[in-house]
Structure 1
Amino acid sequence: MLDIKITKIETPKAKPTGALGFGKYFTDHMFMMDFDEGIGWHDARIIPYGPIPMSPASSALHYGAEIFEGMKAYLTKEGKVQLFRPYENAKRLNSSAERLCLPELPVEDFVEAVTTLVNLDRDWVPTEPGTSLYVRPFMIGDDHSLGVHGVHHAIFMVILSPVGSYYKEGLNPVSILIERDDVRVAGKGGTGYTKCGGNYAASTRAGKKAELKGYSQVLWLDAVERKYIEEVGSMNVMFKINGEVVTPALVGSILPGITRKSCIQILQEEGIPVSERRITVDELLKALEDGTLEEAWGTGTAAVISPIGKFVVDGKEFVVNNGEIGKVSQHLYDEITGIQSGKIKDTRDWTLEVK
């Protein structure tokens, strides 16, 4: 159990009003803890939210020694605050840490850090439908010397942000540009299965290109052959083709999404055929052309389910399900958000009450 020292803010900030957007506002406090080689994790503390001192030689700034997680806290109709599958986030953080030579964090300590901070700032959990308190745990290497090597000093932090919908479209289907030029930094044996900043920084150019053309995100192909579908934007992706749900297999270049994992379990329990395998862009285009692609959607913590209403490739547009949300997409969204918000009974032990 962590010995967390809590220093409360003297003058609490005003809560935001109106549309929250995503990641624009931050709560009164943040969690910090240090790691030093030979000592381990120490000095767990919650302090007022604000800037942190960093050396200009910090390894996070020069070599991208940084990982993060994304999760949410939800307010139930009974007034409880609960998290969705936080132990999965803790395990995935450690998987990312191992790949980037950052120190792993005991799972129970991760969960305790998150729950203690959320409990302190629980008044920031928004109450409007479709809103939540976004939780951003992250770790940075903070060695104060130049040179590429394993990290000897690191900082683990958690910050909180009340949020609305990730996409301005909300649950309305989005338009996706199939990207053939840029690729994710995600070759097999690389960092594609981790949540590290470099993966996301490398995706912004294609994302900006799609945005300028009026599309919400890009569909990523593999970095080697550029023919296998991997992810959509920063989300996992699923397709319903001729009655079967197909999603790219986790081959080391794709993030093992927690929402993805939850969707697969729900579908399997309900007897809906699910296949985790490699799928080519040509197979997708054929399904678009012959009408066997019945639905497509992205899955992720930020948006939960993001229906895809249109694919664009080489200047040609393909509409999916008349540009409307499909039955499976809607069902998965309702089921997962229902469990998260407490409207649907959690029979799978996925939620954790914050208290």
Structure 2
Amino acid sequence: MLHTVAVLLEEPVAPFELAVLCEVFGIDRTEDGVPPFDFRVCAADPSKVLRTKTGMGVVATHPFEAARDADLIAIPGGSVDGPFHPEALELLRGAVARGARVLSVCSGAFWLGAAGLLDGRACATHWKHSTLLAERFPEARVDADSLYVDDGPVLTSAGTAAGIDACLHLVGQELGTDVANRIARRMVVPPHRAGGQRQFVETPLPVESADSLRELLDWLAQHLDEEHSVPALAARATMSERTFARRFAREVGTTPHKWITAQRVLRARHLLETTTLDVEGIARACGFGTAAVLRSHFQKEVGLPPLQYRRTFAGRDVRTPPPVPPWPAEHRSITVSSELLPQY
């Protein structure tokens, strides 16, 4: 049963991530039918004002020792480089050993990695830190897409607001969905987003990559509504098809087909957010041809159907479609795949 919740703090404290934990577990909502939590904010020295990333100070209410019997120990993020207090790492390991749960928000996953709790486990963090987390803890299975990952006693979440989803998921598991829904209603947030839902991010085109193909990639990004074939692209790049395929895989990290598809989905997201074009119009503008093809690729890449994505990120009514705006260069990205397929 989830009753005692302890949060471990170390400088620099991430205030928003700490506030997420305080909002879910630290507010008395018994009048709404939510069981009370024994909520403890812990630090090595609770008399010390801890520096935050925003300039304000935070004072803990309990020493680290108060987390020793907690049902849940949560880490609200902070520095990815530590230092990670040895007592805090020992408390995290001890919690898992005695059957308690541990939870991290955003960069808090680095604490769990330093404690050895990510080895052999799937985990999540903010997309910006996912590569570094995988490099630091090669035994961890880092999921760069998911909002949160629940792997046994270890629950890790992506950036900021994804921590709310992870906390509500945990409350639903331990206390039932009705309790989670009551908390969500008071917070005015969706009661449940699946952990496997994608983090909505745009990965900018790396400056150092795709040097010999940059001109072609820029041209392609401006002509996504047209049909493209490998022979035509190779000719435009003045290369043989075989050389072009090898060069594209080496410099871009995926196949031409996959790259173009990812760009079309990215442009579709941009149009869903910023225009009132209907799905058929967006499909044509992005080169998918039909709404059915767009829906298929969009669901696979983003994890949501197009109209649900629009309701979440734009909230517009689809009525009068304006002319298709130009595709800004700053919105273009590449999707790097670790699985380079020989076919193209």
Q: Normalization by structure 1: what TM-score?
A: 0.29
Q: Normalization by structure 2: what TM-score?
A: 0.29
- Bigger helix share: 2
* Larger RCO (CA under 8 A, 6+ residues apart): 1
Bigger-Rg structure (1/2) = 2
- Bigger strand share: 1
